[in-house]
Every structure is written in structure tokens, then in C-alpha cells.
Amino acid sequence: MKHLKWIVLVSAIVLLAVFFWKNEVPPKKVTFNQDSSKSLVSPTNNSASLGAQLVQEANKIDLSDSELPASLRGTEVDGGFRVDENGDLIVEQGIKRYFDYFMATVGEESIAEITARIHDAIMTQLEEPARSQALTILEDYLSYKTQLYELEQQIGEFNPASFNGSQLPMLASRLEAIFDARRTHLSAEVVDAFFSEDEAVDRYTLNRLSVLHDKALTEEERKEQLAQLEDTLPEDIRQQRAEVTQYQRYLVEETKLEKQNASPAEIHQLRSQEFGEEAAVRLAELDQKRGEWELRLKQYRIEKAQLDSSGLSQQDLVEQIEQLRSHHFSDIETRRVKALDRINGG
């Protein structure tokens, strides 16, 4: 049976939700998540109750004969649900990733259908008490997302491209509004599991912008405060940033050596200093494999060009090129070569 059309909720609420999901910008694409000034808006009946209504109505939707949206086919579900030894739901980031995995298909499916998919997963994968706990978090998360839309409608979208120092108070208010929205709709445990790292990064970003645009600071004072701000980031993020900085520094030094026609031994010494001897050896092995690949690819292109100009019929040409690829490359490499040929128009 084809899935039922969702017609139960009040149309105004449906339209509100649809517009929200279509217009929300994923947090990682802008400096801050969708937010607003906390003095502008408080939770409305829509934002506070829509989540519960959506979950209630999701129980009436039959998706048993409905295919996954095209964008999800062939992909692996992100996140999921885990329970402890007492059968209680373990509240962690994986739950949010699971919700967002399906919610990313807005436009392909209605919010009701998306909610139904998550609802079905909870009902089939979990037993009590974890089942009810997961449904409550889903209701709260949907209500929270709806308030984000309401906040955005109050003051419009934030455009980081046009940012200047005078906007710092507005950004601070927007950031506090998003934090308040989370705590209005979600429990402290859920907020910590879902957003603790994001909030630390957002606060760091805002404080960093404040330091960068503080004209009263000397250059030395600015560097000192920026260094202190680094300590406010979570340890894993600081580690990632340090690794990126280290790699960028290495690339600069390697480029200098290559321009000076440095020997392989000098390149190896640099890598060993930066990453350790074991990593330096692995990088050398990658260099060798890359060089061998480039040689085989170059020879293949020479032979392919000869075939292209040989006057063979289209069918014979295709067969000969397939044989040529099989001769030079493995099955996995052949797929890569075909993609390169398409890019090159061959």
C-alpha cells in the first residue's frame, strides 16, 4: 500500500515547518548556526508543540512500500541508537547524526514522511524504556528546529561575507538566542551530547572575532589573547588544528626543497623531523606508487591517442581501449582511468 498522504495537521503549521526546513542553512556553512537576538522571540505554540504533533502523526504514515529518497540510496546511515545495560538510551552525538541524516532530504520528502522514517526506526530498533526516551528526544529536536526558523524570520539570514566589527553585538545576541533555544526545548543532557563541541567552537569564533576587531589592542596583545583563546577549544579540536598547522608548515618547507632540487634524502629528513621516521617511510612509499601510476597513465595515454587516430570503427575502438585499460590497470584503477577519460573528453 502506498504511503498515506499527511493531511492531519493544521495547514498553517505544515507551511511553517516546510518553509523552515527549506530555508535552514546547515551550521557548518556559516560562521554561526541559525540564530537570532534572544530578545526578539520566545517559543510559540508552534515551536513548542509541532514536534509532538509530528511524531504523533508519523505513527499513522505507512512507508513500508516507499523507497528511500534518491539522495540516500546506496549510502550508509550515519549515527544510530545505543542502550546501556539497563535498557536506557545512551544520549550521544550519534542520535543527532541519525536524525540529521534523514532530515537532510527535505525537498525530496515532506517533514511528515521524514519524521515517519525516524519514528519507524525507533519503534523497530528499540524496546522500552529506550524507545520512549528516543521519541521524546525526537519531539524536542523537531520543536527546537522549528524555533530556529522562527528566530531566522525575525532578523533574516546572517551573511558572513559582509561581516564587519560593528556586527559583533548582533552576532553575540544571535549566538545566545540559539543557545537559549536549545535549552528551551532540549534537556541539559541532550544539549551537552548534541551541541557541546559546536557551542565551544561558536564561542571561540565570536571571541576571536572580537579580538581581531579590537583596535585598542597592540599586535603583541592581540597575539597573546588569540593564543589564550586556543585553550578554550575542546582537546580534540585543538589537536586537529595543530595537525593542520603542522602539515601546512611541512608543505611550505617541502615546496622550498623541491624548488632547490633537493635530493630524496633531504625530503626524507624533513618528513622524519615533522612526522617521525615511520611516517616518512610511508610517504616515500606513496611517492613511489604515485610515480609508477603516473608512468603507467602516461604510457596509456600515448597508446590510446594512437588508437584514437587509427581509423578504427567506433565499436572496434571501444573494444581496443577496454583491452588497453585492462593491460595497464587493475579493475579499481580502470574505473578511475575511465573517469579521467570522461573529464578529458575521451
In the chain, domain spans: 11-159+174-212, 235-275, 285-346
**Cα 68 from Cα 108, distance rounded (Å):** 10
**Cα 218 from Cα 1, distance rounded (Å):** 70
The 10s digit of each residue's pLDDT in 246-279 is 888 888 988 998 899 989 899 999 889 888 999 8
Nearest by Cα to 180 from 199, 160, 201:
199
Q: Which amino acid is it at 113?
A: E
What is the Cβ-side half-sphere exposure of residue 155, based on CA atoms within 13 angstroms? 19
In the chain, % of residues over pLDDT 70:
84
For residues 46 and 185, the answer to whether their CB atoms sit within 8 Å is no
For residues 50 and 143, the answer to whether their CB atoms sit within 8 Å is yes
pLDDT at 13: 34
Query: Is residue 41 predicted with pLDDT exceeding 50?
Result: no
Count of other CB atoms within 10 angstroms of residue 255: 10
Q: Which residues pair with 109 in a beta bridge?
A: 106
pLDDT at 49: 75
The 10s digit of each residue's pLDDT in 142-181 is 999 988 878 877 766 666 667 777 888 888 998 999 999 9
Phi, psi of 10 (to 5 degrees): -60, 135
For residues 50 and 142, the answer to whether their CB atoms sit within 8 Å is yes
Mean pLDDT is lowest, of 25-34, 194-203, 273-282, for: 25-34
Q: Which amino acid is it at 41?
A: V
Average the pLDDT over 237-248 and give the result: 83
Query: Is residue 6 predicted with pLDDT exceeding 80?
Result: no
pLDDT at 56: 86
In the chain, % of residues over pLDDT 90:
48
Query: Is residue 26 predicted with pLDDT exceeding 80?
Result: no
pLDDT at 156: 62
Q: Which amino acid is it at 340?
A: L
Please give the grid coordinates belonging to residue 8: 492531519
Question: Model pTM?
Answer: 0.63
